[in-house]
């Protein structure tokens, strides 16, 4: 059998987050990352978005393993939903695996620990058709790794999220010697991070950012409240270092801090001097100028907490005059508005705000120059820009062309694309697609919210809902009760009596017209009511609420059955022989649940309780 190589773009292109790619060598598939993304404002009520799980339903028996580059949600967030159904081995560095277990156990506390395998940059795993090895990369979380799939046609390299920073700490530093070694083994294809491709000037080194954070702390006169992502351990370490250098103590708060930050501390990835951390009760006895409150969480969670602090709704902390709020991560485009709103609230509460991203150009992703340096170092034959929106992938392509790469060897892909390698022509070509749709998670539901539901939610958010309830007798072709109408989020009912009354007349006309001109059909009747109401309401208000007609029917069969039963009972009473008064009373006394007495008028008196009897 001839060798077969495929590169599958399962998710993570033309978007930010939700990274998942796969390389197939003969009958084995190696999945690279399994992440999620957080929804934007257009996905009403959606908690997170994950890659299409149909891929595992179709190809799960061929998947040899899931290989993780780092412990951020865009790399590990989909694992809980994958491992819920499929027992697939997971490989990652020690910290990555521990964070992955935390994610998975949120959904399934009985997950098998035997599925998780700890590897490092020196590990090489041999499978039947290929082998997998790793190399150190620089990112905002320690022990990030790139992945190399060794195939019969050459190396396929996946960077994950990365950047170059020669001044980074050892746990964060890219292994340039290892990259040079990989280049000597013939790099067939490079799947490279595009998230920061449009940035040309170099990012500030983490060393300089650490000094900047310390200066901010030194100049602050009151309390410092820091907002940071819990998974950005590099920034968390810089905050701890700055607090120690300026003689302050740190209170850790936030949803993820107990699990993510404390796990990193336990494994030695966060260095915390003795006595630096304090508890909530210590806030009362610690002076403001000796206090740092580190609020961590996911995505916008720290900002939500800051808003509660500023509006006096937080359970523990209230922002007051003299507080400095330090937003220690560069916000994504999706939360920039939220950052502005939060800053406004902080100033209203008497505090001030400093944003790291405004004073320093910082990112955990490679700039344009970094991407060109990687291409020069690895010299790949083919390039697949991944992890980034479409414009960033196009910029990445242009950067690669400037290094001398043939534009025909650079593929701007979309989710679901599958590229086969032709060994004779020595080229990749687009073949049959693989599952690449979005799966939306809302509460405990996985994939049960689709475009139709989202469209209805959007309409509800814009124009509200209008409900019409009517009861009919379809046999007699008439309305039994006056139609009832109500609305939510559409108009104020008390101020729009005429509109509501006119709507009732529209409903009556629609039903009468349906009875007169059409053969009765439930769906047609509801559609007629809906259509007529939508036209009327739009004409009156220029709004299009969701119109929900509820049509009920009198149960004629039950009514007739009750009439027949009643008539039959009357006939039986007339034909039955009359019983003596004493016999009837005797039976009544036996069947009675309560003691019965007969007063002078002959009426039965039932005692309600023993207390009344006494």
Q: Which residue numbers belong to the known binding site? A: 361-365
Strand order in the sheet with 465-473: 478-488, 465-473, 546-553
Alpha helix (H) residue ranges in 286-379: 301-310, 336-348, 356-359, 368-378
Annotated binding site for substrate: 361-365
Q: What angle do CA 63, 32, 233 make, to 5 degrees?
A: 135
Least Cα distance to 218 among 241, 197, 188 occurs for 241
As a whole number of angstroms, the distance between CA 159 and CA 359 comes to 28
C-alpha distance across the termini of the chain, in Å: 98
As a whole number of angstroms, the distance between CA 37 and CA 35 comes to 7
Least Cα distance to 98 among 117, 125, 75 occurs for 117
464 Cβ contact partners less than 8 Å away, ≥ 6 residues apart? 487, 488, 489, 490, 491, 543, 545, 546
Least Cα distance to 175 among 436, 378, 474 occurs for 378
User: β-strands 418-422, 5-11: how paired?
Assistant: antiparallel
Least Cα distance to 505 among 494, 497, 517, 495 occurs for 497
Counting every residue, how long is the chain?
Answer: 614
């Amino acid at each position: 059998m001839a060798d077969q190589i495929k590169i599958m773009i399962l998710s993570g292109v033309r978007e930010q987050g939700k990274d998942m790619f796969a390389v197939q060598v003969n009958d084995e598939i190696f999945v690279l990352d399994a992440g999620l993304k957080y929804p934007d404002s257009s996905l009403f009520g959606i908690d997170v978005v994950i890659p299409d799980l149909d891929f595992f339903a179709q190809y799960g028996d061929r998947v040899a393993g899931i290989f993780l580059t780092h412990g951020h949600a865009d790399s590990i967030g989909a694992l809980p939903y994958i491992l819920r159904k499929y027992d697939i081995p997971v490989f990652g560095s020690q910290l990555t695996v521990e964070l992955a277990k935390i994610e998975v156990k949120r959904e399934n506390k009985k997950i098998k620990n035997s599925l998780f395998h700890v590897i490092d940059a020196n590990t090489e795993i041999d499978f039947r058709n290929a082998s997998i090895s790793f190399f150190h990369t620089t990112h905002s979380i320690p022990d990030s790794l790139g992945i190399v799939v060794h195939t019969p046609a050459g190396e396929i390299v996946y960077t994950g999220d990365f950047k170059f920073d020669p001044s980074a700490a050892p746990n964060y530093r890219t292994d340039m010697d290892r990259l040079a070694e990989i280049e000597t083994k013939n790099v067939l294809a490079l799947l490279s991070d595009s998230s920061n491709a449009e940035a040309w000037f170099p990012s500030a080194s983490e060393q300089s950012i650490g000094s900047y954070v310390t200066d901010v702390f030194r100049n602050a006169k009151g309390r410092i409240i820091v907002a940071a992502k819990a998974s950005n351990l590099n920034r968390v370490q810089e905050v701890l270092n700055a607090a120690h250098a300026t003689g302050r103590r740190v209170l850790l708060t936030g949803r993820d801090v107990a699990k993510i930050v404390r796990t990193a501390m336990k494994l030695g990835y966060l260095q915390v001097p003795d006595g630096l951390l304090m508890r909530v009760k210590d806030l009362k006895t610690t002076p403001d100028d000796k206090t740092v409150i580190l609020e961590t969480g996911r995505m916008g969670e720290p900002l939500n907490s800051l808003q509660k602090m500023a509006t006096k709704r937080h359970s523990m902390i209230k922002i007051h005059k003299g507080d400095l709020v330090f937003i220690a991560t560069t916000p994504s485009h999706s939360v920039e508005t939220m950052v502005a709103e939060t800053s406004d609230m902080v100033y209203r509460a008497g505090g001030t705000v400093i944003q790291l991203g405004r004073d320093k150009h910082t990112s955990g992703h490679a700039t344009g120059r970094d991407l060109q340096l990687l291409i020069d170092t690895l010299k790949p034959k083919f390039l697949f820009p991944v992890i980034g929106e479409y414009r960033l992938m196009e910029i990445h392509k242009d950067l690669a062309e400037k290094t001398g790469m043939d534009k025909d060897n650079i593929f701007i892909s979309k989710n679901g694309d599958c590229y086969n390698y032709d060994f004779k022509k020595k080229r990749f070509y687009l073949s049959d697609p693989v599952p690449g749709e979005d799966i939306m998670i809302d509460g405990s539901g996985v994939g049960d919210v689709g475009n139709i539901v989202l469209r209805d939610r959007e309409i509800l958010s814009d124009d509200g809902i209008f409900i019409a309830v009517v009861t009919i007798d379809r046999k007699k072709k008439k309305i039994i009760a006056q139609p009832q109408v109500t609305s939510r989020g559409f108009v104020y009912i008390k101020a729009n009596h005429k509109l509501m009354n006119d709507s009732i007349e529209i409903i009556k006309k629609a039903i009468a017209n349906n009875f007169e001109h059409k053969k009765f059909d439930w769906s047609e009747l509801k559609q007629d009511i809906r259509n007529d109401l939508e036209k009327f309401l739009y004409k009156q208000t220029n709004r299009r609420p969701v119109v929900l007609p509820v049509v009920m029917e009198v149960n004629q069969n039950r009514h007739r059955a009750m009439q027949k039963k009643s008539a039959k009972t009357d006939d039986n009473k007339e034909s039955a022989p009359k019983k003596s008064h004493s016999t009837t009373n005797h039976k009544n006394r036996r069947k009675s649940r309560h003691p019965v007495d007969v007063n002078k008028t002959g009426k039965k008196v039932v005692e309600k309780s023993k207390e009344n009897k006494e």
